[in-house]
Amino acid sequence: MGDIPELKSALRYVFFVYSEFALVALLTLYFVNTASAEVLAESSVTFIVISYSVFLAFGFHNGVTRDGSVATTLEQRSEILRLELLFSLAVALILWSVSLVFHSGFYLMVGMMIGGANHLKAACQAVFRLNGESNYLNLLNVSCALVFFLLFALTQGLNSSLPIEQDFFLAWFSATTMVVAVFYVVCGRRVGLFNRRRYNRNLFLKILNASKFMFVMAVGGVVLLTSDRVMLNLHKAEEVILAKFQYMDTLSNIYFLGLSAILYYFTPNLLRRYKSAGEISVTHFLQSIKKITVLLGCVFLLFLVAATILLFVLGRLDSMMFELMLSMLLMKTSLIMLGTICNFYLANDGEKRLAVYYVIATSVSILVTHLLVGLLLSKEAIVFLPLSNCILIIALFGVLLVRIKAVKV
């Protein structure tokens, strides 16, 4: 019965995660169904910049999660989180400063602005996750979505003179910044951010050094998730292709972000269990993989049916849109599965091996998507772009699963 409180906390978190994404989904669906094809094509730059802005953290967020999860004392965990808040602020300030240089390019500028705010949000989430304060974590996530929803609804209701894309992205940035500013101060007080005591420079360098392999993994994950859109933009694909691709990517992200947020919540506990369970963890992990696979398969089918009905109701369902949706959902489901197996390796100091595999998969992904875009730029076979990455991710998952017993526990 000792797991009941944890289960209740997890279920509560899942409820709030989907409450948050319900609000974001409504906004996103309104935006993609109201904006013109030209705007959808151009806005893909913003989403790419937001995704790639995580590189500036050099894997530090992941290093903090792992080191904070296995910290032996509260004082050590508090110092780790103190460094996380300070480092995230520095990254956010860099992104905001650079965004001023690109003020003439709206999509590039706003992507950097939102990316900076997201780093601060990630730092606050790390504090609440590692301290087991799920109620504050839920409040942070839902507040960002709710304020975003209200700001955008207000600007649209008042018939703002700004174009819809400017209303959408500026409301996103403003909401995240306002909410995170409040929570950042709360987190800072809890871990002594504003105290005058000196920062532990050696601990910072230790986490940063240990994060280098996780940084490679983070880069690889983002590239696998976005290389198709990046190549389409670099090869200047037709506007209609970019628009359809961005539409389905945005819709499938509702599915992916919801599932990845749940995995994100469980990561600290999974790391502790796999680290402390010894060789027994191998057996438990393999059993859990079977259950997760079945569960993900059910969620995948439910979302596919729901999204198909939605597209039909909106009058956007055609063969290309359905095939794009199917291939993107398959790719993002495989990424969730990859994330589960990576937790086992990370808990058992296998990040170096993971980094090597990620470098290989990322290099192949860039090469294959470059070749495919060159060959299929104006054809409906463009749906093979996410499918090619899906095959790579499944192959990587299979290799890691086969070798899992070789990990030194």
State which amino acid sits at residue 196.
R
Distance, CA of 216 to CA of 391 (rounded, Å): 20
Distance, CA of 225 to CA of 218 (rounded, Å): 11
Question: Cβ distance 295 to 371 under 8 Å?
Answer: no
Mean pLDDT confidence for 67-73: 65
Q: Is the pLDDT of residue 408 over 60?
A: no
Q: Where are the alpha helices (DSSP H) in 74-163?
A: 74-101, 106-130, 134-157
pTM above 0.85, yes or no: no
Q: State pLDDT tens for residues 222-254.
A: 777 777 777 777 777 677 777 777 778 877 877
Opening angle at CA 267, ends 356 and 216, nearest 5:
25
The rounded percent of the chain whose pLDDT value lies above 70 is 83
pLDDT band at residue 285 using 50, 70 and 90 as cut-offs: confident
State which amino acid sits at residue 2.
G
pLDDT (0 to 100) of residue 174: 93
Distance, CA of 184 to CA of 191 (rounded, Å): 11
Between 371 and 326, the higher pLDDT residue = 326
- Can you say whether the dihedral through the CA atoms of 136, 138, 140, 146 is positive or negative? negative
Among 279, 305, 238, CA closest to 41: 238
Q: How many CA atoms lie within 13 A of 100 on its CB side?
A: 5
